[in-house]
Chains A and B, each alone.
Chain A
Amino acid sequence: MASLIACPHCGPRPKEEFTIRGDAGIARPLPDAGEDEWHAYVYLRDNPRGRHKEHWHHTSGCRRWLVVERDTMTHAIYTVTDASAQGETA
Chain B
Amino acid sequence: MVDFALLHRLALATAKSGSFGARTADGRIALTALPEGHVLQVLASPGHADIEQAVAKIGDGKPHAVRAYGPGQWFLVGDAPLSSSEIFAKASQLDGAGSVADQSHGRVRIEIAGTAVETVLAKGTAVDLALSQYPVGRSAMTLIGHISALITRTGPDSFELMVLRGFAESLWDELIEMSLEFGVDATAAN
Q: Is the CB of A17 within 8 A of B143?
A: yes
Question: Is A60 an interface position by the 8 A CB rule?
Answer: yes
CB contacts under 8 Å to A, within B112-170, are: 126-127, 140-143, 148
Q: Is the CB of B141 within 8 A of A60?
A: yes
Q: Is the CB of A14 within 8 A of B126?
A: yes
**1/0 per residue A1-38: CB within 8 Å of B?**
00010000111111011000000000000000000000
Question: Is A40 an interface position by the 8 A CB rule?
Answer: no
A62-B141 in contact given A13-B126, A13-B127, A82-B71 (Cβ < 8 Å): yes
Expressed in whole angstroms, the minimum distance between the Cβ of B49 and any Cβ of chain A is 11
Task: For chain B, give the interface size range.
Answer: 10 to 19
CA gap between A17 and B127 in the complex, in Å: 11
Q: Is the CB of A62 within 8 A of B148?
A: no
A-B contact pairs, 14 of them (CB 8 A): A9-B70, A9-B71, A10-B70, A10-B140, A10-B141, A13-B126, A17-B126, A60-B143, A61-B141, A62-B69, A62-B70, A62-B73, A63-B73, A64-B70
| Interface positions of A (Cβ within 8 A of B) | 4, 9-14, 16-17, 60-64, 82
10 tightest Cβ-Cβ pairs between the two chains A and B: A62-B70, A14-B126, A60-B143, A60-B148, A61-B141, A9-B70, A9-B71, A17-B143, A61-B142, A62-B141
